Structure 1
Amino acid sequence: MKVALLTMFNGLDSTYSLVNVVAEQLRMLLSAGISTKILVTEHCPLEDRYGVFLDERIEWVKIVNHYEGKQIHWGDYSQPSGKVHSTFFNEADVIANDFVEHLADVDVCIMHDIHYQGWHLVHNVAIRKAQEQLPNLKFIAFTHSAPVNRPTKTVWPFSARYTPMKNTIYVYPTQSGISALANQYNVAEGKCRAINNSLDILSFSSKEIQLLNENTDLISPDILVVYPGRLTYGKKFEKVAALCGAIKMHCEKKVKVIFCDFPSSDVAPNVYKKLINKQGIMNGLDEEDMFFTSDIEDFKNGFPRQAVLELFSLSNLFICPSYSESFGLTVLEAASRGNFIVLNEQVPALNELGKQLNSYFMKWDARNFGFNTHEKYHPSEQAYLKEHGEIIVNLMRENQVIQAKTLARTRYSPQWIWNNQLDPLLNPFG
């Protein structure tokens, strides 16, 4: 399959929101291994390309924007009737010929606001002329602004803004606008789709976070837990894995645990990691649900603190079952990044700090002042983890801030939009 993005951009300034939308779609298409070209005006300065626009896999096409030696100036023909300038149809013919030439090898053409914006009326007419010579080409026409009311009377070429084109699906960023979209273009709602704009959080992340994401998925888990600490038995990494396993098993959530570990002289790392993995798997996790940052060569001696704070901005659940703490600074760090906090109630420092932060408490073995505690669970530790795992998930669901943070990362990620909205729309065209 080969896909073209018809934008007619004059520039690539990221302050123009549509440029960012197109950039996200380029990333999706390239990540899926789809051959992609982008159509811009002949005046678009390609030397200003940046980010994904620099990807060498993209085929850039400059569409003619002059007629009889003079630059074509786009008139804003937003009214339903009137008169166009004297060379309008000749300009449309020239542009149409360019469209035919450069779309002949394409299976799907994704248009952005070409049918909607009044200043794109000449391109609207041109692509309709080109479509007549490209009967097998499928079109997806995005409208990025609120659909306009369909006038009772329109005349050509102004009626192109309110008329459907053959082999075309019309798209709007939200489901709420589908009825209005269908009305503007006079098509059945079944010919319209909602494809949300996406938020690529990782595009703003540090190289450390991006490298970590290349090794394990940070975006799609419903529950993302980050637990930083020295790889020692006192930090009780295995208890984090066990509780996360119970959450996955009994709450039907996709769970990922990132252990930001660094070596300890009192334990063999491979031995303890095997124990942690075993406890997680026994309680419901798969091995790939757990990841140690020390398994990446760059981070074998520890994950940078600033990157840990970045991870906390992605995660939504922090669990600290530590046997002993003098304060628990990571608790504050996780709380400052909007995580649901679960702490060991039996550790005095965690108890004190957790009450200030309105945290959720569970009971694990702990060292107190002058004595140690040893927990016994009835009827079993697995039942205890199940009970509290379900409560934690319900409380997280009811927390508006955590729910919004989670959905922004998962539901509106480029991966979700691609897998659930854009790719299914392309597939029938394959």
Structure 2
Amino acid sequence: MKVAILTMFSGLSTTYSLVNVVADQIKMLIDANVAVKVLVCETCPDSERTGIFSDARLEWVKITNTLNGQPIVWHDYSGASGTVHETFFAEADAIAKDFTAHLQDVDVCILHDILYQGWHLVHNIAIRKAQNQLPHVRFLSFTHSLPVNRPQEMEYPFSARFTDMPRTKFIYPTYSGISALDKQYDVPEGKCAVVYNTLPLVPSMSTPVQAVADVIDLMHADVLAVYPARLTTGKKFEKVAALAGAIKHATEKNTKVIFCDFPSTDISSKVYQTIIRTEGKKYGLSDADMLFTSEIGYPDGFPRQSVFELFTLSNLFICPSYSESFGLTVLEAASRGNFLVLNEAAPALKELGDKLGAYFMRWDARNFGFDTHEKYAPSEKAYYEEHGRRIVNLMREDRSLNAKTLVRSQYSDAWICKNQLMPLLNIE
């Protein structure tokens, strides 16, 4: 499978939103091992090729923007009738010849605003001419602005902005625009489809977070918990793993836990990590559901800024700590919009939780001058599963938290690629 992306960009400034959309699309295709060819205007400067646009796996093609030694000037033909400039059709023929030559070896050609924008009318006509010589190529025509009303009367070539094209699907970024899109091109809704614009959260984050994402699936977790702490038994890591496991078992939610750990002198890190993993698996997690950042190259602690970034992605913070003087990580997690589950028996956590509207559970704790010990009836497992179901229901009912989770999971490049883009390319 080889895909061409036809943009006719004359520059690659990221202040132009479509440049970012195309960059995300290129990355999705390359990550899916699809061969990609990008077609831009011949005036697009190579010096602006940075990031994914400079990837060695890309085939970069410049399409002519010259006729008889003179630069082609793009005119904005947004109307439905009128008169085109004298050299319009000669320019379209020259561009069509280039399109035909460079699309011979592709299976699908993705058009970005080529059939929509008035200033691309010459390219619109050119690609329709080229298509006659490319019977094996399918087209996906993306529209990135509000579809325009179809005029009752129109003249060629202006009518091309309102006309179907063979072997073409018309794509819009939201379902709400499909009805207007099919009316603009006078096509049935079956010839239209939706591909969201992606929000590339992880690629915009630090190298340590990207290293985490390489090991554990951050984007598709329904419940994602992050727990940064010194690897000491007083922080009760195993209780975080146990509650997360109970949530997964009781609700069948895809649940992941990231422990941003650093060593203590209280207990061997390897010994305690084994205990934590054992507890997590006992209650419902798998080994793949848990990650210690000390095991992926950060044995002395995960960078604080990267912890903040992980909290931006996560939606659940569990703190069963035996003793806290303040609980700064609670504030850090809350500041990034996480659902807070705190140990009610620890005075500092109770004080913070009351102010922040946290959900309370009870674990063993050290109080002022005495310790408390919890007993669970009928069992600790039943206690965790009962609260786990309540926690998930409350998270679902929290509109802001639900929105945060959906943005991460359903507007990620991986989700969009798998569920929307690849099916249009006939790649499962």
TM-score range, shorter chain: over 0.9
How far is 1:247 from its partner?
1.1
User: Any residues of structure 2 matched to 1:39-188 within 5 Å, and which?
Assistant: 39-188=39-188
How far is 1:26 from its partner?
0.5
Q: Deviations over 1:361-415 (max 9, x none)?
A: 0011111122211111111111111111111111111112111111111111111
The question of 1:324 aligning with 2:331 is answered: no
Once residues 310 and 88 of structure 1 are traced to their aligned partners in structure 2, the CA distance between those partners, rounded to angstroms, is 51
The answer for the alignment partner of 1:272 in structure 2 is 272
The answer for the alignment partner of 1:203 in structure 2 is 203
Matched residue of 2:425: which SS? Answer: helix
Once residues 356 and 158 of structure 1 are traced to their aligned partners in structure 2, the CA distance between those partners, rounded to angstroms, is 62
How far is 1:222 from its partner?
1.3
Higher mean displacement: 209-218 or 151-160 = 209-218
Once residues 172 and 307 of structure 2 are traced to their aligned partners in structure 1, the CA distance between those partners, rounded to angstroms, is 37
Once residues 370 and 63 of structure 1 are traced to their aligned partners in structure 2, the CA distance between those partners, rounded to angstroms, is 78
How far is 1:217 from its partner?
2.1
TM-score after normalising by structure 1: 0.98
Once residues 66 and 305 of structure 1 are traced to their aligned partners in structure 2, the CA distance between those partners, rounded to angstroms, is 53
Task: Kindly provide the amino acid, as one letter, of the partner of residue 324 in structure 2.
Answer: E
Once residues 189 and 390 of structure 2 are traced to their aligned partners in structure 1, the CA distance between those partners, rounded to angstroms, is 41
User: Any residues of structure 2 matched to 1:282-301 within 5 Å, and which?
Assistant: 282-297=282-297, 299-301=298-300
The answer for the alignment partner of 1:421 in structure 2 is 420
Task: Kindly provide the amino acid, as one letter, of the partner of residue 336 in structure 2.
Answer: R
The answer for the alignment partner of 1:412 in structure 2 is 411
Once residues 48 and 425 of structure 1 are traced to their aligned partners in structure 2, the CA distance between those partners, rounded to angstroms, is 30
Unmatched segments (≥5 aa) in structure 1: none
Q: Deviations over 1:126-151 (max 9, x none)?
A: 00000000001000000000111111
The answer for the alignment partner of 1:366 in structure 2 is 365
The answer for the alignment partner of 2:28 in structure 1 is 28
The answer for the alignment partner of 1:303 in structure 2 is 302
How far is 1:272 from its partner?
1.1
Once residues 207 and 282 of structure 2 are traced to their aligned partners in structure 1, the CA distance between those partners, rounded to angstroms, is 34
Once residues 91 and 340 of structure 2 are traced to their aligned partners in structure 1, the CA distance between those partners, rounded to angstroms, is 63
The answer for the alignment partner of 2:240 in structure 1 is 240
How far is 1:203 from its partner?
2.4
The number of aligned residues is 428
Matched residue of 1:226: which SS? Answer: strand
How far is 1:165 from its partner?
0.6
Once residues 269 and 153 of structure 1 are traced to their aligned partners in structure 2, the CA distance between those partners, rounded to angstroms, is 75
Once residues 31 and 375 of structure 1 are traced to their aligned partners in structure 2, the CA distance between those partners, rounded to angstroms, is 49
How far is 1:334 from its partner?
0.7
Task: Kindly provide the amino acid, as one letter, of the partner of residue 167 in structure 2.
Answer: N
Once residues 338 and 409 of structure 1 are traced to their aligned partners in structure 2, the CA distance between those partners, rounded to angstroms, is 13
Once residues 424 and 284 of structure 1 are traced to their aligned partners in structure 2, the CA distance between those partners, rounded to angstroms, is 33
How far is 1:93 from its partner?
0.5
Matched residue of 1:133: which SS? Answer: coil
Task: Kindly provide the amino acid, as one letter, of the partner of residue 361 in structure 1.
Answer: F
Once residues 85 and 306 of structure 1 are traced to their aligned partners in structure 2, the CA distance between those partners, rounded to angstroms, is 56
Task: Kindly provide the amino acid, as one letter, of the partner of residue 198 in structure 2.
Answer: S
How far is 1:115 from its partner?
0.4
Q: Compute the RMSD of aligned alpha carbons.
A: 1.0
How far is 1:47 from its partner?
1.2
The answer for the alignment partner of 2:375 in structure 1 is 376
Matched residue of 2:228: which SS? Answer: strand
Higher mean displacement: 360-369 or 104-113 = 360-369
How far is 1:88 from its partner?
0.7
Q: Deviations over 1:211-234 (max 9, x none)?
A: 222222222211111101111111
The answer for the alignment partner of 2:5 in structure 1 is 5
Once residues 169 and 310 of structure 1 are traced to their aligned partners in structure 2, the CA distance between those partners, rounded to angstroms, is 38
Q: Deviations over 1:3-50 (max 9, x none)?
A: 000000000010111000000001101101111010000000011111
Once residues 168 and 309 of structure 1 are traced to their aligned partners in structure 2, the CA distance between those partners, rounded to angstroms, is 44
Q: Deviations over 1:285-343 (max 9, x none)?
A: 1110000000012x011111221122111111100001111111111111111111110
Higher mean displacement: 245-254 or 12-21 = 245-254
Once residues 304 and 86 of structure 1 are traced to their aligned partners in structure 2, the CA distance between those partners, rounded to angstroms, is 62
Matched residue of 1:187: which SS? Answer: coil
Q: Which runs of 4+ in 1 moved over 4 A?
A: none
Task: Kindly provide the amino acid, as one letter, of the partner of residue 300 in structure 1.
Answer: P
Matched residue of 2:4: which SS? Answer: strand
Report sequence identity in percent: 63
The answer for the alignment partner of 2:228 in structure 1 is 228
Q: Deviations over 1:175-216 (max 9, x none)?
A: 011111011111110010011101001222112211222222
Task: Kindly provide the amino acid, as one letter, of the partner of residue 17 in structure 1.
Answer: S
Once residues 263 and 337 of structure 1 are traced to their aligned partners in structure 2, the CA distance between those partners, rounded to angstroms, is 25
The answer for the alignment partner of 1:348 in structure 2 is 347
How far is 1:161 from its partner?
0.6
Unmatched segments (≥5 aa) in structure 2: none
Q: Deviations over 1:67-107 (max 9, x none)?
A: 11111111111111111111111110000000000000000
